[in-house]
Structure 1
Amino acid sequence: MLRWIIFITIFLVADFYAFQAFKTVTKNNILQILYWVITLFVLGNFVFHFYGFNRSDGFSHAHGYAVGFLIATMVPFIFLVGMMFMEDVFRVPHAIYRYFTVGDAAKGDFFTSRRQFISKLALGIAAIPLASIIYGIYKGRYNYKVLKYTMYFEDLPEAFHGYKLTQISDIHSGSFDDMEKVKYAVDLINEQASDVILFTGDIVNNKAEELVPYKPVFGKLKAKDGLYSVLGNHDYGDYVKWDSDAAKKQNLEELKAIQKDIGFNMLLNETKFLEKNGERIALVGVENWGSGGFKQAGDLKKASEHVKADDFKILMSHDPTHWEKKVIQDDYHYHLTLSGHTHGMQFGIEIPGWFRWSPAKWRYKYWAGIYEEMGQYINVNRGFGYLAFPGRVGIWPEITVIELKKGAAPA
């Protein structure tokens, strides 16, 4: 209860402070009342959905929108409060000076009026993240991007020169609310005409039933050499309250069965060899392994027990911290690891080839795109779906296409 009182108090104080900019720009009482109606609705809606909320009870679309509306309100607040504070850095010392120099002549009005220019500038700057978040909720979460890479390996089997794979990750089917957009994305995946499609975990938020409505949609995925998948941390059902351990286990078995019906070959700490013209590459799939409190069911040694040291290896592992903590230092050389999990925090700024930033970098060393360590590579997919916040801002849903080439990369 105390934390809710503190949260609401801080929110309203910050909002009242930010309101000063709005009040400076317009004296229209209707607009000022509308400001507070919207603010109190957003706050009330959030409190209504999250007071007494237990994550194990499940996270609905209504919860997601409550989070989205709150973020859409709070981020502009931060910019407004920042700008107003910068102005008060000068106003407060000036007011103190007037208090001691003018005294009673000021009749208690020691503060100079807020500058309308500063208020307009603050509102203008705050409008940028507001518009971005609204766009992210309305359109960004389905703004699928196909990212294409060509990767060169000296020891790639000759038969696999030009081999194409498509990676998707973090579908989170329980979050979707637009079937047609998902159908469009599946068509986009098929258009890439890759040799194989690889899914790196988190096909649901919590329960197998979330995937059922989308089973016919994902069932249209096609690739010459098949579809393969691994489990992510959300697939185990660890974040909901089950009536029994048996119910939780049954949920996981149902999830595996649905994936099989879709056409996915699940790799549960095991290897599948892709063969072509008498040569092969090892497709190694581990269960989820993550640092920082996440499930560590992945067993790299078990998964690779039939793999030779000189095999070309592609590893599917949901959480990139597995690559960081275990894979890079392993006795075997895993040429390419495919991961997801981070979502790129669903928020950030990316200018391809120039600049990339997201709060995800504060949590994950490898959070989006391709990285290289000790001659081994990882691609961290930004995710196909979304979770909690019902949108994406700057970090768009991703379909990765990687073409393998034999030889050295061009200079």
Structure 2
Amino acid sequence: MRGIIPIILLILIEIYSYQVVKTLSRNKWIMLFYIIISILFILYLLFAFSSFDRSVGQTKFTLFTIGLFLLVYIPKILVTLILVTEDVFRVFEGAVNYFVDENSGSFLHSRRTFVSKIALGIAAIPFFSLLYGMTIGKYNFKVIKQTLFFDDLPADFDGTTLTQISDIHSGSFDNAEKIKYAIDLINAQQSDLVLFTGDIVNTHAKEMHPWIAIFKNIHQPVLGKYSVLGNHDYGEYIQWNSEEEKAKNFEEIKDLHRQIDFKLLMNEHVKIKKGTSELALVGVENWGVKFKKAGDLKKASAGLQPSDFKILMSHDPSHWEYEVKNDPNHYHLTLSGHTHGLQFGIEIPGIFKWSPVQYIYKQWAGLYENTGKYIYVNRGFGFHAYPGRVGIMPEITVIELKKSKKTV
């Protein structure tokens, strides 16, 4: 039954999509061309999905297939919804005419051309948006700057800047020049600290190998470069030939951080010193309410006091919601990623922000605050599944730490 329902829906979508073509054009060659293209595309999808290898996981081929599927079927789904709505009114209108006017003729009036034109126009919006996202949007890097004030920020850290990136997903990249440009953007910020909050690959350590030299060019800031793991770094979304193979891949993924000159924090903390002051940088393994819970906040913070100024790196923002924000140890700033903002949404800076992912994560993009404690959720550097970005662009975050001015 689970297989029959999608097939029925697919047939329904194709029938209604064909109705638009038939209503707007009576040219038999155009209709024949549409039918042939639709059949070929369905055959391609059947081949692509049937040949998916669970031992390999996501590849550039599967990325392209998912993108093509969304590009074709989201517009068709919108067309279907509009025409189904029209059919409801046509049936209602036919029923009324049947009982009121016996000479009304056909029970169902012919489909209205203007409705098909409206459906086609509305469907064009996601089509061109998704096409833009796959060609331009996925590398349309944005530098987003934020200034945060803290009463208890150690004096010597007043004005300190940090750059955060997250969710590299190197296995999805296909344009070295665009990645080099993004690294240049990171370096141009000249931050005191560079932090990476997880998901260096989609699954396999080898995905990062072509990009190591490029990421190694991230400048060495005065306060260092640090990182943590994300849910994809554990290799849990494919079938491995053995546990030994999976463990070997995990060790290789951890070593990637060393190869790009980042210090990987595994449920531990380091003291960052500046002048006579210091703050604690805490890094936990992935902890997600619906994902792997390897993060151990207590272990990572062993020996720290509530009065210590702390920056926490935790890949999944649900960790902040469920554990961190109410922890008595008081984590001043948490840096996360993971959501990618779903790579789809609408953002008008300072005015409006929406994405379907907000119905899953309370904190999904940007800055959030709770009783003087902050979390910043980076929108992600790379992309995964859908090979593009619409409305939610890849992000390089720059945060300036400022000491609050005492008021009399």
TM-score by length of 1: 0.94
Q: Does 1:369 align with 2:366?
A: yes
Aligned length: 406
Q: Does 1:315 align with 2:312?
A: yes
Q: Does 1:93 align with 2:92?
A: yes
Q: Does 1:154 align with 2:148?
A: no
| 1:243 matched residue in structure 2 | 241
- In structure 2, distance between residues paired with 1:28 and 1:356: 44
Q: What are the superposed Cα offsets for residues 333-368 of structure 1, whole Å, 9 maximum, x if unpaired?
A: 100000011111111111111111111012111111
| 1:273 matched residue in structure 2 | 271
- In structure 2, distance between residues paired with 1:75 and 1:156: 48
Find the residue that maps to 2:376 and give its secondary structure: strand
| 2:9 matched residue in structure 1 | 10
Q: What are the superposed Cα offsets for residues 257-308 of structure 1, whole Å, 9 maximum, x if unpaired?
A: 221021000001111111111101111000011112x111111111111323
- C-alpha contact (below 8 Å) 1:57/1:240 kept by paired residues: yes
| 1:77 matched residue in structure 2 | 76
| 1:116 matched residue in structure 2 | 113
- In structure 2, distance between residues paired with 1:235 and 1:18: 41
Superposed displacement of residue 36, structure 1: 2.8
| Structure 2 unaligned spans of 5+ | none
- C-alpha contact (below 8 Å) 1:42/1:70 kept by paired residues: no
- In structure 1, distance between residues paired with 2:69 and 2:85: 24
Residues 326-345 of structure 1 correspond to what in structure 2 (within 5 A)?
326-345=323-342
Q: For the aligned residues, what is the CA RMSD?
A: 1.9
Find the residue that maps to 2:164 and give its secondary structure: strand
- In structure 2, distance between residues paired with 1:86 and 1:240: 41
- In structure 1, distance between residues paired with 2:383 and 2:184: 19
Q: What are the superposed Cα offsets for residues 102-125 of structure 1, whole Å, 9 maximum, x if unpaired?
A: 66883xx33222222221111111
Superposed displacement of residue 96, structure 1: 2.6
Residues 381-392 of structure 1 correspond to what in structure 2 (within 5 A)?
381-392=378-389
- In structure 2, distance between residues paired with 1:260 and 1:208: 13
- C-alpha contact (below 8 Å) 2:267/2:295 kept by paired residues: yes
- In structure 2, distance between residues paired with 1:59 and 1:154: 46
- In structure 2, distance between residues paired with 1:409 and 1:357: 36
1:288 aligns with one of 278, 286, 289: 286
- In structure 2, distance between residues paired with 1:160 and 1:348: 35
Find the residue that maps to 1:3 and give its secondary structure: coil
- C-alpha contact (below 8 Å) 2:97/2:104 kept by paired residues: no
Superposed displacement of residue 26, structure 1: 1.9
2:301 aligns with one of 304, 309, 313: 304
- In structure 1, distance between residues paired with 2:101 and 2:51: 53
| 1:203 matched residue in structure 2 | 200
Q: Does 1:132 align with 2:121?
A: no
| 1:173 matched residue in structure 2 | 170
Tell me whether 366-375 or 50-59 shows the greater mean CA deviation: 50-59
1:359 aligns with one of 356, 366, 370: 356
1:397 aligns with one of 383, 388, 394: 394
| Structure 1 unaligned spans of 5+ | none
1:232 aligns with one of 230, 233, 236: 230
Superposed displacement of residue 238, structure 1: 1.4
Q: 1:105 to 1:243 in 2, by over 3 A?
A: closer
- In structure 1, distance between residues paired with 2:406 and 2:162: 18
| Residue identity matched to 2:262 | F
